[in-house]
Every structure is written in C-alpha cells, then in structure tokens.
Amino acid sequence: MSCICNQFSDLKFYPFTALNHKILAHFCRMFEKLKARWKVNTINLILVIATFALGGSLCGYAGRKILLLTGLEKGATWIILYILLVTLLWPLCVLLISIPLGQFKFFKNYIIKIGRKMSGRREKKKTNLLKIAVFASGAGSNAEKIITAGINCEVSLIVCNKPGAGVLNIAANHQIPTLLTDKERFFNGDHFLPELQKHQIDFIVLAGFLWKIPVPLIQAYPKKIINIHPALLPKYGGKGMYGNKVHEAVIAAGEKESGISIHYVDEIYDHGEIIFQAACAVTENDTPETLAKHIHKLEHAHYPAVIADLLQKQNHS
Ligand code: GRF
C-alpha cells in the first residue's frame, strides 16, 4: 500500500488534481503509520477507527442523556459535569462498541496503556530507559527515523566506520555521541565490547552498517542485535548484497515484488531469524533508484515500530 501511496505523492497534474493527490497520499501515509504503530492490518485499522468514532458518539449521547435526567440548566457547571461524564464514559462506550466490531482485545490493551500513562506509572523513568546503539555508515535516514520516532528508549551511541558519513551529522544535530571506528579496533577480539559497555548499551540496531558483526559482540548481545535488509530475505542477501546491488539483482531477476526484512544478527550475513517483513510491488518501470526510494519509505514506516515492539518485550522479560 505504501508503494501505491508513494506513486501518488510523485504525481504532478493540474494544481487542483495535484492537491487532491497530495491529500490522498498524506492520508495513505497516515494510515501506514497507524498500521505500523498499532500493529494491525488494513481491515482492523478501519474497524478500530470505526470503534473510536462510534464509541465517541455513544459516550457524547449518553453523557447528554444522563445530564438531562438531573434537570440541570445548561451553563458552566453543566459543561464541567458533561466533560467529566464523557471522560468517565468513554472507555466503557468504546469497549462496548468494540465487542460487535471484534476489536475488544485491541481496545482493552489500549485503555490499559492510557490508564498507565495517566496514573504516571510510566514503565521506566528516563534514567532507566534501555539504551540503544545504532550502527550506521550511510546517509543515516533510518537512524534519524529511529532517533525521532519517540520510542521508549535512549539512542545513546552512533557507531560508524566511515568518516564523513551523513549519519554523523544526524548524530551531531541530535547531540548523540558517536564512535568512529576502524577495522583494527572493531575486529580485534572482544576489544570493541568495552566501548559499548562504557555507554551501557542494552540493544544494538544496524541501519546501513556493512561490516560483519564480530562473534564476541553477538555472544555478548544474544538476540539483542538486529539488522534491516532492503529485500525479502532469504533471497538477495549475503556478502556483497547491499544498497543498489540488491535492487539491481531483484529487477534483473524479474521479481514482481521486493520489500524489507528485519532480522536478528548471527554469524552469517543476512541470515539470522526474521522478525518482520513488508513487501511492495516491483513494476516494469522501476529502476534500482526508484525501487530504493520505495524500500526506504517502507523502512522508515516500519523499522522504528518494530524496534519499539522488541524493546517493550525486553522491558517485560
Ligand atoms: C537501508 O536501505 C538499509 O536497508 C540498508 O542500508 C540502507 C541504509 O540507508 N541496510 P540509510 O543510511 O538509513 O538512509
């Protein structure tokens, strides 16, 4: 769906039509973000939105009816009582509506989450947030999405092996410490570990980092290192398969779809257990560059949400 949306945003027709397409593309992107955040498919998203709308109307209606029974005159007290009533009734009404629409489980969890936030029982205080290191050596667009996504964690370190890489500017803009490493330091037994321990890193996210992760690091962070690959693994992965090379191979093979794979990192390139995949169509007109654009949008839409999900599980384990 996001690929279809991307096509809309690229269209340039007459001003009015172009405006319509822009609005449509904006809504498509919003839908994709909500789907990723709430981890639902398109049908469930529509049902969730319908539940919100119907639940909201029901609690407004019920609030008014209850106040009518009290015989109170409309005025400031009436409005205050109405707001109070609606706030109290809202969870009930939404839960009620969610039953026939098959969304009870979603809303039960949603309301529990809001309740936790309101009662100030945040799962972890800022000082106790999980600390993640992002390893990146390219433009850093994924790193930036992760930093700005509002995930319940602290991006404490950017590890990079390429002086002048765009990701270093992004780190500087967000005042995140960087570690520019060279091969000697990185692959020297477990010598790199203390660098991460110094920053108390709990979790490692690879986002455009081309070096193989040394075994001591994998052993020190079991199931705590993840990578994103710009294709549907297990196809088009492995040594030398990165950037446009992946997209060139996908197009040359005449694939009708490509996508992204988020996976745990093990000792073999692009091989660890797959956590999440999302696909998009490859059309006859696609070039490695246009496909790369579609893939990047998929990555930006999903990588932060998947990381947030994994960190939440870690917090509870
Ligand atoms: C992404 O396409 C990712 O799949 C791959 O490297 C690229 C990094 O892009 N591993 P950016 O530097 O985040 O823009």
Residue 166 has a CB neighbour count (10 Å cut-off) of 18
State which ligand 1 atom lies nearest to the alpha carbon of 137.
12
Q: Which atom of ligand 1 is least distant from the CA of 138?
A: 12
Among 29-43, 130-144, 266-280, 292-306, where is mean pLDDT lowest? 29-43
- Closest ligand 1 atom to residue 230 Cα is 4
- The pLDDT > 70 percentage for the chain reads 90
Per-residue pLDDT reduced to its tens digit, 232-245: 999 999 999 999 99
Return d(Cα 317, Cα 313) in angstroms, integer.
6
CA angle 166, 271, 200 (to 5 degrees): 55
The span from the CA of 87 to the CA of 186, in Å, is 55
In angstroms, what is the span from residue 294 Cα to ligand 1's centroid?
A: 12
| Helix, strand, coil tally for the chain in percent (to 5) | 55, 15, 30
Give the nearest ligand 1 atom to 145 CA.
Answer: 13
Q: Mean pLDDT across the stretch 150-155?
A: 92
pLDDT top residue among 237 and 8: 237
**pLDDT for the residue numbered 15:** 57
Q: What is the mean pLDDT of residues 127-141?
A: 92
Check pocket membership of 299 for ligand 1, CB cut-off 6 A: yes
The residue nearest atom 14 of ligand 1, judged by CA position, is 141
Task: Catalogue the E-assigned strands of 141-294.
Answer: 153-160, 178-180, 203-206, 225-229, 257-264, 274-281
Beta-strand pair 274-281/257-264: antiparallel
Ligand 1 pocket, residue 208 CB under 6 Å: yes
Ligand 1 contact, 229 CB (< 6 A): yes
Could you tell me if the CB of 51 is within 6 A of ligand 1?
Answer: no
Residue 122 neighbours by CB under 8 Å, 6+ apart: 116
User: Which residues carry out catalysis?
Assistant: 229
In degrees, to the nearest 5, what angle opens at C-alpha 242 toward C-alphas 236 and 244? Answer: 95
Cα 72 from chain centre: 48
DSSP bridge pairs for 40: none
User: Measured from the CB, is residue 141 less than 6 Å from ligand 1?
Assistant: yes
Report whether 228 contacts 207 (CB < 8 A): yes
Whether the CB of 142 sits within 6 Å of ligand 1: yes
**Distance of CA 207 from the midpoint of ligand 1 (Å):** 5
Please report the atom of ligand 1 found closest to the CA of residue 229: 4
| Assigned token pair, 168 | 């270093």
Going from the Cα of 71 to the center of ligand 1, the distance in angstroms, rounded, reads 63
How buried is 31 (Cβ within 10 angstroms: 0-12 exposed, 13-18 middle, 19+ buried)?
middle
Q: Where are the beta strands (DSSP E) in 178-256?
A: 178-180, 203-206, 225-229
- Which of 296, 298, 302 best tests ligand 1's pocket when mutated (most atoms within 8 Å of CB)? 296
The predicted-structure confidence for 59-95, as pLDDT tens digits, reads as follows 999 999 999 998 888 888 999 999 999 999 999 999 9
Identity of residue 198: K
The answer to whether 165 and 236 have CB atoms below 8 angstroms apart is no
Question: If you take atom 3 of ligand 1, which residue's CA is the nearest one?
Answer: 208
Protein residue with least CA distance to atom 7, ligand 1: 208
How would residue 317 be classed by pLDDT, with cut points 50, 70 and 90? low
End-to-end CA distance of the chain: 34
Ligand 1 mutation target, pool 228, 232, 260, most atoms within 8 A of CB: 228
pLDDT value of position 3? 45
- Binding site membership of 155 for ligand 1 (Cβ less than 6 Å): no
The alpha carbon of 228 and the centre of ligand 1 are apart by a number of angstroms equal to: 7
